[in-house]
Amino acid sequence: MNSNQSENEVQSSHRPVQPANLQPINLQSTSAHQGINEGFEGLLVIGDPHIEGRQPNFRKDDYPNTILNKLEFCLGYCREHKLQPVCLGDLFDKPRDNPTWMIGRLIDMLSRTPMIGIYGNHDCGDPELNKHDSLSLLIKSGGYRLVSGSDFWTGAIGGRRLVVAGSSYRYPIPAEFETRFVPALEGDSSPPLVLWLTHHDIDFAGYESGRFEAHEITNVDLLINGHIHRRCDPIIAGKTTWINPGNISRRSRSEANKRQVPTAFAIRVDGSKIKVDKVMIPHESFETVFHESADAVGFESTASGFVAGMKELLQRRTDSGAGLKEFIEHNIRQFEPDVAKQINQLMLEVTETGAATTTAAAKTTGGAANG
């Protein structure tokens, strides 16, 4: 618990505040008609791909194709090892207006290897996912199936029933999951093993924005959280273990991302236990995919050096405009106050214009956690 949280706040953290038009998941609804998925030997859990058609935050590679290739590797690994792919939300970085070519490639990929999962804050332009969001196209195509407390996935893994349910962005994390609606498996009378997916600000150690405290969820063995982009130490709350694997995309030039290794988690069943193994995703080094910071460029403190620095910045610019403000802050002191003021004014005009196209999405989706 955070020191500034009251007891009431901690109790209410088990059920995040719901917008008026967003109804809580009905855990009493039945999914028995869906039956049990067979032919799988486990799951592959994929954290926050953040697929987009633009070049983000100091990345100097071809980010759109790089992240699509990472997802394609994961799907290929699933086919090779008979795993069901699972997404922890934020499949997309922008909820809408994504390039047609990119959505087309996703539809092709998921037509061969359908994915199950939840949606995150970056997947929806409104508080709840709807037909205007790009993810809805993948759902309509049959390539992506949303799971919840009432519409869960059940597979026969290692001779046991394994259930995948979850709470998408803004949906409450329950105190209990009712297992009597889980389809029966012939020859297995034991309780099902249950995995719960979330996309929340969980209060993991070292995560400063944690708002929801881990708690035991009756009948849930393992909770896997997305949203937080770095790996966190597990929390054991009664009979429920909470883990946070981090995302598979490194979207910002940060110390956390220097240490982050893009990894998916393979989930298998070993008797009465859920076994978790790490699967490293092929990736380039941090230095290969990110530009240096402005203070590392080392231009001389003269007007001509400033121009040379701006030229360098133009050559390595990103669609988001990252780097311009940082560069100017490091070099502005060499100019007379009036000149510096004009440079700052021009910078504000450029960055505000560039930000205008993403302001609406930013207000509704929020920022990526620890990108």
Q: How many domains does the chain have?
A: 2
228, 106: one domain: yes
Q: b/e string for 182-219 if b means 16 or more Cβ within 10 A?
A: bbebeeeeeebbbbbbbbbbbbbeebeebebbbbebeb
Quickly count: other Cβ atoms within 10 Å of residue 173's Cβ.
Answer: 24
Tell me, yes or no, whether 351 lies in a domain: yes
- Return the residue matching tokens 């008609």: 33
Is 48 within 8 Å of 120 (Cβ atoms)? yes
* Two tokens, residue 162: 């394994």
202, 237: one domain: yes
Last residue within a domain, chosen from 222, 254, 280 = 280
Residue-by-residue pLDDT tens, the chain, 371 positions: 333 333 233 233 343 333 333 344 443 334 444 689 999 999 999 999 999 999 887 888 899 999 999 999 999 999 999 999 999 999 999 999 999 999 999 999 999 999 999 999 999 999 999 999 999 999 999 999 999 999 999 999 999 999 999 999 999 999 999 999 999 998 888 999 999 999 999 999 989 889 899 999 999 999 999 999 989 999 999 999 999 999 999 888 877 777 888 999 999 999 889 999 999 999 988 888 888 875 554 444 555 555 555 555 555 555 555 555 666 666 666 777 777 677 777 766 665 554 444 434 333 444 444 33
Parent domain of 168 = 7-280
Give the whole-angstrom CA distance, residue 246 versus residue 228: 6
Longest dimension (CA), the chain: 82
Is 222 within 8 Å of 274 (Cβ atoms)? yes
322, 271: one domain: no
Is 280 within 8 Å of 261 (Cβ atoms)? yes
Last residue within a domain, chosen from 280, 305, 327 = 280
Give helix 324-331 / helix 337-355 axis angle, nearest 10°.
Answer: 170
75, 153: one domain: yes
**Which amino acid makes up residue 243?**
I
Q: What are phi and psi of 349, to 5 degrees?
A: -65, -40
